[in-house]
Amino acid sequence: MHELSLIQSLLTIVEQYAGREKFSRVRSLKLSFGRLSCLDRKSLEFAFSVQSAATIVEGAALDFEILPARIYCFSCEEDIVLPGALAEYCPRCQGQDIVLSGGTEELKLLEMDVD
Amino acid sequence: MLVRTVTNILDANNRIARDNRALFDEKKVFVINLMSSPGAGKTSLVERTIDGLRDRYRIAVIEGDIQDSFDAERIAKLGIPVIQINTGGACHIDGNMVQEILPNFDLGAIDLLITENVGNLVCPAEFNVGENIKVMILSTPEGDDKPRKYPLMFEKSAALIINKMDLMAHVSFNIDKAIKDSLIINRNLSIFQVSCKTQAGLEQWFEWLRDRMNDFFARRP
Ligand SMILES: Nc1nc2c(ncn2[C@@H]2O[C@H](COP(=O)(O)OP(=O)(O)O)[C@@H](O)[C@H]2O)c(=O)[nH]1
Ligand SMILES: [Mg+2]
Ligand SMILES: [Zn+2]
Ligand SMILES: [Zn+2]
């Protein structure tokens, strides 16, 4: 559901850029978010396809950079990328003294390819 | 032509939330954004917190929960100013919705404003409304896997209230696991085990909240 309000905000941001940078068509948009942020790629794509109709981004390709879950392990003293969702142990040393260090990043517009 | 943007999609909401925050600061209003799944006990905790703190603070409530249209009436019955936000079916409250209803309050006569968000463990955490702190409730019947499944809200909250402790034995909720996972996500999380039904554990929550509020008021004499 929140995908609808996020895509609405995205369209507003693109239109503001279009006014400033004087472009009239968007070929593609690159977005990013963390895989633990509870955003759903399919819902974003669907919301985009519906809401972009008759705007300057209609038909633009969406490109996603999905950032992995990461923990900091106090035993390894290192930031470690997790293969999946949040784990209870450090995948390297099985240590439990860990803290989430990435994966909940909010939705960002990284770049656009425009005409 | 490639245009580098790196813009947070929530920027517009964050700007409105900052405006709300500036107004709350000026009027010295401490604001809680209260979040949980439907039925976890938000309205119950609001009622208990009003009971526990009303002798010291002037309290008001914003009701955004659409699960139960009687929530606002429950609060009004206590003689507390309460405004119901019409979210129009939205799954969260945003900064703009709060901004629009603020003229209905006499902010100069409020010390603590509690915003009961829509029952939802996902997106309320993304949308700031201008709060001092986010507080979330996890109730034992929901299961101890929630931190792992919905880490964002745990990460953004200052306090986690584990509610319905009176039911824990019946619902096989592993409290140690829930706490451990929550602290992996957020080491600074203050965790309270309470029952809004029996009132067990609520005094610690009140004390913690009083400390946070007094810090805030001391910084803005
Ligand atoms: N057993 C038990 N029931 C509770 C507790 N707290 C709330 N409830 C009940 O849970 C239901 C939902 O509570 P409510 O405060 O309306 O939840 P909300 O939807 O999050 O606002 C109500 O029937 C409450 O009486 C508790 O600590 N123990
Ligand atoms: Mg409620
Ligand atoms: Zn390790
Ligand atoms: Zn939402």
CATH code, domain carrying A20: 3.30.2320.80
Quick check: B5 and A112 CB within 8 A?
A: yes
* B15 part of contact set with chain A, CB < 8 Å: no
Looking at residue B65, what is its pLDDT?
82
The residue extents of the domains of chain B are 2-218
Q: What is the mean pLDDT of chain B?
A: 95
What pLDDT score was predicted for residue A42? 93
Read off the pLDDT of each residue in B90-101 and give the average, rounded to a whole number.
93
pLDDT at B158 over 90: yes
What are the residues whose beta carbons fall under 8 Å from the beta carbon of B32, sequence distance 6 or more? Answer: B112, B113, B114, B115, B131, B132, B133, B134, B135, B209
Q: pLDDT at position B68, please?
A: 60
Strands annotated E in B140-214 = 159-163, 190-193
pLDDT at position A3: 87
pLDDT means per 10 residues in chain A (115 residues)?
Answer: 88 94 94 92 94 93 96 96 89 95 96 94
Q: What pLDDT score does A87 carry?
A: 84
Predicted confidence at residue B90, as pLDDT, reads: 80
Total number of domains in chain A: 1
pLDDT of B43 higher than 90? yes
Confidence (pLDDT) at A7? 95
How remote is the CA of residue B39 from the centroid of ligand 3, in Å?
38
Tell me, what's the pLDDT at A38?
83
Distance from CA of B209 to the nearest CA of A (A): 25
- How far away is chain A from the Cα of B194, in angstroms, using its nearest Cα? 25
DSSP B59: E
Which one of B36, B44, B47 would you pick to mutate in the ligand 1 pocket, going by the greatest count of ligand atoms within 8 A of its CB?
B44
CATH class held by domain B2-218? alpha beta
Pocket of ligand 1 (CB under 6 A): B 36, 38-44, 65, 67-68, 119, 163-164, 166-167, 195-197
* Higher-confidence position of A16 and B70: A16
**B155 shares contact with chain A (CB less than 8 Å):** yes
Mean pLDDT lowest among A109-113, B2-6, B35-39, B104-108: B2-6
For residue A53, what are the domain limits?
Answer: 3-114
Which residues lie below 8 Å from residue A19, measured CB to CB, with a gap of 6+?
Answer: none
Q: What is the CA radius of gyration of chain A?
A: 18
For residue B3, which residues of chain A lie inside 8 Å, CB to CB? Answer: 17, 21, 23, 111-114
Place of tokens 């293969």: A83
What integer is the mean pLDDT of B163-183?
96
> Average pLDDT, stretch B50-78?
90
Phi-psi group of A38: left, alpha or beta (phi > 0 → left; psi -120 to 50 → alpha; rest → beta): left
Q: What is the pLDDT of residue B88?
A: 76
Helices (H) and strands (E) in chain A, counts: 2, 6
The whole-number pLDDT of residue A82 equals 94
Rg, C-alpha atoms of chain B: 17
Position B121 scores a pLDDT of 94
Q: What are phi and psi of B213, to 5 degrees?
A: -70, -40
> At B74, which helix (H) or strand (E)?
helix B71-76
